[in-house]
């Protein structure tokens, strides 16, 4: 599926959960004033959301859903505020 570049401000990545599957640590979000996380934003149909919740471990408490405000890039670029 096609996604859009996005930036979530005021949050940072934290690798605080060990994966038994591949032996590394899984990234989550934490409040971090002044920080930002860039990524690709995908629209997920409401009917498909339970599948995402299951894969992310919501049922077992391995992840906790939280609201995050994301700014989408225009034409693949973010405004610096000086333009």
Give the model's pLDDT for residue 26.
83
Per-residue model confidence (pLDDT) at position 76: 66
Phi, psi dihedrals of residue 77, rounded to the nearest 5°: -130, 150
Closest CA to 68 of 1, 6, 3, 2: 6
**pLDDT for res 27:** 87
Could you tell me the pTM of the whole model?
0.74
Phi and psi (nearest 5°) for 48? -90, -10
pLDDT score at 80 = 55
Q: Walk along the chain (83 residues) and give the pLDDT tens digit of each residue.
A: 789 999 999 999 999 888 777 888 888 899 999 999 999 999 999 999 999 999 888 888 778 888 999 999 987 666 655 44
């Amino acid at each position: 599926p096609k996604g859009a570049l996005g930036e979530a401000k005021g949050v940072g990545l934290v690798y605080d959960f060990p994966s038994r599957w591949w032996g590394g640590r899984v990234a989550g979000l934490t409040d971090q004033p002044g920080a930002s996380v860039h990524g690709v934003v995908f629209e997920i149909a409401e009917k498909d959301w339970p599948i995402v919740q299951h894969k992310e471990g919501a049922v077992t408490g391995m992840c906790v859903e939280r609201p995050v405000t994301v700014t989408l890039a225009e034409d693949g670029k973010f405004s610096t505020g000086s333009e």
